[in-house]
Chains A and B, each alone.
Chain A
Amino acid sequence: MEKINRHLMPSQEPEVRRNNFKEVALGYTDEIAYAEAQRCLNCKNPQCVQGCPVNVNIPGFISKIKEKDLDGAATILEQDNNLAAICGRVCPQERQCESLCIRGKLEGPVAIGNLERYVADYALNNITSNIKSDEFKDRKVAVIGSGPASLTCAANLAMKGVKVTVYEALHKAGGVLVYGIPEFRLPKDLVQKVIDRVTALGVDIKLNVVVGKSIYIDELLEENDAVFIGTGAGLPQFLRCEGENLAGVYSANEYLTRVNLMKAYDKSSITPVKRGKKVVVVGAGNVAMDAARTAVRLGGEVHLVYRRSRQEMPARAEEIHHAEEEGVIFDILTNPIRIFGENGNVTGMTCVKMELGEPDASGRRSPIPVEGSEFDIQADQVIVALGTSPNPIIKNSYPALKFTPKGTIEADAETGETNIKNLYAGGDAQTGAATVILAMGAGKRAAKAMLDSFTK
């Protein structure tokens, strides 16, 4: 096996990008993509495919890049993934497909995510045709929410001719892809193009409809052959400590929604967001990184406070790397215990130093407070990114549906079937906060289960 190093993704320089909201990763050129594709060994038993939650035929589409047949590559990719342009940008490849690549043991895995993005972007800009049959043209399905799980479910059904209506609570479709993930990581024009491709399949998206409030699940079940719930993760969790409701303390959801969905990064936007001078972000997942990097771009000195060490950070490797490059200061092994303020406005937080003990249930070493190590950090803005708990709207409006003790919807992990006939669920609403690709996988499997049920 010839040794060829993995080709790096061309990116905006940190000093430049920390002052703008344009996409950081610029994408492979034709030359780089072609060269990177050559690194794929086209394994007989490709492990990468097993590592992909939607089992994209990875060697298949990469072979087509080698042949410079991008139309062919796009067709193979789209067969398994309707949101490839998004996955190429936001999937944690280092823990999925790329973690199993045989090349990884030597000089770095094939850059599957970067190649996926390359092909998907080509398809978005150059190919209009979609794979579509009218096999199930007499069937109707309602999909609740328009994030990754719902869009995937809707697209997979529409590709088979099913008449799909998507109900979205916000004024814009896309769920977390539009309100959560920032422009510099996932451009909103691109998300719109992906959504346009889904609607081009015949999917009807109704905005400003809150299922459980504007319309009830009973009504949807009556009017449709099946219903899919993909309402996402729900309520932001706070620290449950003193001072968490001071003015200037945000959930990452609120902060990012103001900036992304409502465009508050633009000073002329009518929806405001505070531009903190000294910002503390709590948490170390992708959402925390998104919030921290956004706060850098809005002109703040940004500290990211995390109770474990860098090794345990749950965010994608690339996000951690980018955040650090952009000047986010990591205060690791640090846990906030109290937020304080003056006249109702936050002025800082008291933290305690932590050390790592034995591994806990999650397999990560559990942090233990160091006695007497309390100290104060000054801050005029605190952004809490500690995950979410399930949204109660569906639960309260439809008590017949079964929920787990954690409050997530109880559904079959393989098919998404719930305890109610013809009612399916998937994505974060079922699993709790997870990744875009896992949500997509659930949407895809639920669509397949629905189609199977239609032929019975």
Chain B
Amino acid sequence: MKDYEIVNKRDLASNVVEYNIYAPYISKHCLAGQFIILRVDAEGERVPFTICDYSRENGTVCILVQTIGYSTLKLSKMQIGDALHDVVGPLGNPTDLSKYESVLLVGGGIGLAVIYPQAKQLKAEGKKVDVAIGARNISLLMYVDEFKQSSDNLYLITDDGSNGKKGFVTDVIKELVDGGKKYDAVFAVGPLPMMRAVCNLTKEYNIETIVSMNSIMVDGTGMCGCCRLSVGGKTKYACIDGPEFDGHQVDWDEAIARGKVYKEEEQEHLCNLRREYGEDK
């Protein structure tokens, strides 16, 4: 087996792909919640992805990738047996929900990748675990069967109501808590605006909320400081202090502004690549 070889690849939803990558250095010590940084080719940018599963026996790690940018589009063209240029990890700290007895896991978009292993673990430990996942439409709801197995209650919701329930994950949380459900903690992972909306709501309910930050990074080991954010007025690095933080303490406006810094450049590179692939509309 080549280092960083794609040993398995499957489409999970529209534009969402699950990759299993051979990386024995990473699979040996990694835990759920940690992340990797990969480069697709020799000129590639360094992009972080959360580890959503791993196999120590096979030496593989599993990541969930939404094909939305230059590197993820390039990655989507790679086939089983192809190797990435390089992959490093495991970086960051593992998720630790061990102190909670009753948890509501909230996932949006590929945030599911982060909450799925937590659902599995909490369920295996016999704890109370409810899962709420939201997506733009029904075709983007993923891991539904897996979550059914690994939760006490699963709540699905879509922006357009195409699965029969219309709204946002915040609507689900509201309904549950107003209906008398009690949780020690909410673990919310997804796009920044979603995590912010969840935190604004759970703050009102006074429920501790943990979020996983997907900041822009370069080295991922603390050297560059690109991924920094303000948490409770203090500067923290997502790569070495996180990626998980107390969501009620995060400065969301700042995080969202920092996340948009290279939007123009990214769009330009993506358009060029689409043109190269003959996929421009």
Q: Identify the A interface with B (CB < 8 A).
A: 169-171, 179, 207-210, 213-216, 232, 234-236, 238, 240, 244-248, 250-251, 253-254, 257-258, 262-263, 269-272, 274, 343-345, 391-393
Residues of A within 8 A of B235 (CB): 238, 240, 244-245
Is A234 a contact of B223 with CB atoms below 8 Å? Answer: yes
Task: Check A210–B88 contact: CB distance below 8 A.
Answer: yes
In the bound complex, residues from chain B placing their C-beta under 8 Å from that of A272 are 262, 265-266
Q: List 30 A-B contacts (CB under 8 A).
A: A169-B88, A169-B221, A170-B219, A171-B85, A171-B88, A208-B88, A209-B88, A210-B88, A210-B89, A210-B91, A213-B90, A213-B91, A214-B26, A214-B90, A232-B223, A235-B237, A236-B225, A238-B225, A245-B254, A246-B254, A247-B257, A247-B261, A253-B223, A253-B224, A254-B218, A257-B218, A344-B253, A344-B258, A344-B260, A391-B222
Give, as a whole number of angstroms, the nearest-CB distance from B74 to chain A.
9
Residues of B within 8 A of A171 (CB): 39, 46, 85-86, 88
B residues less than 8 Å from A251 (CB atoms): 224-226
Asked if A257 contacts B222 (CB within 8 A), the reply is no
Please name the 8 residue pairs, one residue from A and one from B, whose CB atoms are nearest each other, closest first. A344-B257, A272-B265, A254-B224, A208-B88, A251-B225, A214-B25, A271-B45, A236-B225
The reply to whether B221 and A214 contact each other, CB–CB distance below 8 Å, is no
**What are the interface flags for B213-248 relative to A under an 8 Å C-beta threshold, 1 for contact and 0 otherwise?**
000001101111110111000010100100000000
B contact residues, total (Cβ < 8 Å): 44
14 additional contacts (CB under 8 A) given A171-B85, A246-B257, A257-B218: A171-B39, A179-B219, A214-B90, A236-B223, A236-B224, A238-B228, A238-B235, A245-B230, A245-B235, A254-B224, A254-B225, A272-B262, A344-B256, A393-B222
**Alpha-carbon distance A245/B221, docked complex (angstroms):** 18
Q: Is B212 an interface residue (CB 8 A)?
A: no
Contact yes or no, B257 A257, CB < 8 A: no
User: Which B-chain residue is minimally distant from A391 (CB atoms)?
Assistant: B222
Does the CB pair B218–A235 fall under 8 Å? no
CA distance A301 to B224 in the complex (A): 23
- Interface residues of chain B, those whose CB is within 8 Å of chain A, are 25-26, 28-29, 39, 43-46, 70-71, 85-91, 218-219, 221-226, 228-230, 235, 237, 240, 251, 253-254, 256-258, 260-262, 265-266, 269
A391 touches B257 (CB 8 A): no
- Asked if B269 and A270 sit within 8 Å, CB to CB, the answer is yes
- SS class of chain A's interface: helix, strand, loop or mixed? loop
Residues A208 and B87 in contact, CB atoms below 8 Å apart:
yes
Given contacts A251-B225, A254-B218, A344-B253, contact A270 B44 (CB under 8 A): yes
